[in-house]
C-alpha cells in the first residue's frame, strides 16, 4: 500500500481570475532563521515590507534564544527584572495549556536538554550519561515556571532554560495573519518555515488554498513532484514536525527518528516520523506537532479524541513499513 506525505511547497495556483479587481501579491524573504512567504489578494497594491520587518523584529527581541539581549535570553541568564511583553505572554500561556494537555510531552524548558545534546544556541561540554541527564532534569519542567501578576517570569530554579522555538514559528505565522487582517485582506496564505495559515480563497481559481501531497517513498525530485493527494486548507492553520526522510533503521528493520523526550531528558526513538497538525491557529498546530513526535504514535492516538479542533496526518513506522494515518475530520478536505 502506498504512503504519502505533505509537500508544503506544492501549492496549486491556477490562472483563471474571476475577481479582476484583486491581484496576487507576494512577499518573501528570510527571518527567524528560516524563510517566509505571504501570498494574498487585494484590490490595492499594499506596501507591507516595513510592517513585516517590524513584526519579525518584535518577535526576535522577545523570544529569540539566539539574540543575547532578547527578553528570553535575559531571563535565561538569571535576570529577574524583565517585564515580559505580550508576545512572550501569549507563548507562555499557550505553552502552559498544551503542556498540561499533553501531560508534559510539550515542554519549553526541555531547551536545557536541547543545548546539552548540542542542538541549541548554547553548547555545553558535557558527557551525556545517566548521571548528567538526571542532574539536568532537576531544572526541567514547565510547572516550575510561573507568570506573575506583574508580567515577570519566576523560575523555581535559576538554571531552568526556556526555549519557545517549538511554538514561536507558528506564532509568527499567526501574527502575520493578524497583520493582513488589519489591512483588510480577506484571501491569503502565510508560511514561515513550512508552517502555514490560510484564509479565504485562491481567487485565481475561486477555490480554497490547496497543498499538495506526494509519495514519501519517492526517491527523486521528479518523483516527488507527482501529486497523489490535495489537501484543502480552508481557514485553518497547519504545522509539521519531523522528517521521515531522515529516519534510521535498526537491525530488525524498524524505522525511527530521534527526538528528546521532555519527560526523561533522553534522546529516544520515536515511531512518528512526521506529524502534520491542523488547528484553528498555527501556534497551537506547531506545539502539538512537536509534542506528537515525542509522544509516539500510540500515545498520540490516545490523546487525539480529547483535543478539540485538532486534525492530523501522521507518518509513522510499524515494523518495516511506513504508514500514514489521516484523521477522520480531514476526509472531506483530502482529494485523491
Give residues with Cβ within 8 angstroms of 237, minimum separation 6.
170, 173, 174, 195, 196, 197, 198, 278, 279, 280, 281, 282, 284, 285
Q: Which residue has the cell 501529486?
A: 227
Residue 7 · residue 231 · CB < 8 Å: no
Q: Is 182 exposed, middle or buried (CB count within 10 Å of its CB: 0-12, 13-18, 19+)?
A: exposed
Residue 166 counted as an annotated binding residue: yes
Cα angle value 100/101/107 (rounded, 5°): 55
| Residues facing 242 on adjacent strands | 274
Tell me if 286 is assigned to a ligand binding site.
yes
Residue 142 DSSP code: G
Is 290 labeled as ligand-binding? yes
- Single out the residue of 32, 62, 166, 159 nearest to residue 108, CA to CA: 166
Greatest alpha-carbon pair distance for the chain in Å reads 66
Using CA atoms, how far apart are residues 219 and 323, in angstroms rounded to an integer? 17
CB 160 within 8 A of CB 144: yes
Binding site residues for Mg(2+), as ranges?
166, 286, 290
Enumerate the known binding-site residues. Answer: 166, 286, 290
Amino acid at each position: 500500500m502506498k504512503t504519502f506525505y505533505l509537500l508544503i511547497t506544492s501549492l496549486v495556483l491556477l490562472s483563471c481570475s474571476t475577481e479582476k479587481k484583486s491581484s496576487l501579491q507576494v512577499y518573501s524573504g528570510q527571518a527567524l532563521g528560516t524563510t517566509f512567504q505571504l501570498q494574498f489578494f487585494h484590490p490595492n497594491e499594499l506596501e507591507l515590507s516595513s510592517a513585516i520587518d517590524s513584526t519579525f523584529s518584535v518577535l526576535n527581541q522577545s523570544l529569540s534564544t539566539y539574540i543575547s539581549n532578547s527578553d528570553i535570553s535575559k531571563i535565561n541568564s538569571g535576570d529577574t527584572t524583565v517585564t515580559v511583553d505580550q508576545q512572550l505572554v501569549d507563548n507562555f500561556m499557550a505553552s502552559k495549556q498544551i503542556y498540561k494537555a499533553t501531560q508534559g510531552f510539550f515542554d519549553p524548558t526541555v531547551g536545557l536538554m536541547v543545548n546539552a545534546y548540542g542542538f541549541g544556541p548554547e553548547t555545553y561540554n558535557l558527557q551525556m550519561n545517566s548521571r548528567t541527564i538526571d542532574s539536568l532534569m532537576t531544572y526541567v519542567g514547565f510547572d516550575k515556571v510561573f507568570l506573575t501578576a506583574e508580567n515577570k517570569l519566576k523560575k523555581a530554579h535559576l538554571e531552568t532554560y526556556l526555549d519557545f522555538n517549538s511554538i514561536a514559528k507558528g506564532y509568527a505565522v499567526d501574527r502575520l495573519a493578524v497583520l493582513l487582517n488589519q489591512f483588510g485582506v480577506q484571501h491569503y496564505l502565510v508560511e514561515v518555515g513550512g508552517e502555514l495559515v490560510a484564509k479565504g480563497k485562491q481567487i485565481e481559481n475561486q477555490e480554497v488554498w490547496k497543498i499538495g501531497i506526494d509519495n514519501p517513498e519517492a526517491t527523486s525530485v521528479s518523483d516527488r513532484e507527482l501529486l497523489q493527494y490535495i489537501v484543502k486548507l480552508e481557514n485553518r492553520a497547519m504545522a509539521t514536525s519531523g522528517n521521515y526522510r531522515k529516519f534510521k533503521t535498526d537491525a530488525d528493520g524498524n524505522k525511527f527518528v530521534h527526538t528528546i523526550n521532555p519527560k526523561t531528558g533522553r534522546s529516544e526513538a520515536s515511531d512518528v516520523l512526521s506529524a502534520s497538525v491542523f488547528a484553528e491557529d498555527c501556534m497551537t498546530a506547531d506545539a502539538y506537532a512537536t509534542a506528537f513526535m515525542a509522544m509516539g504514535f500510540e500515545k498520540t492516538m490516545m490523546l487525539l479524541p480529547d483535543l478539540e479542533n485538532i486534525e492530523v496526518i501522521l507518518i509513522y513506522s510499524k515494523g518495516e513499513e511506513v504508514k500514514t494515518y489521516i484523521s477522520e475530520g480531514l476526509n472531506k478536505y483530502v482529494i485523491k
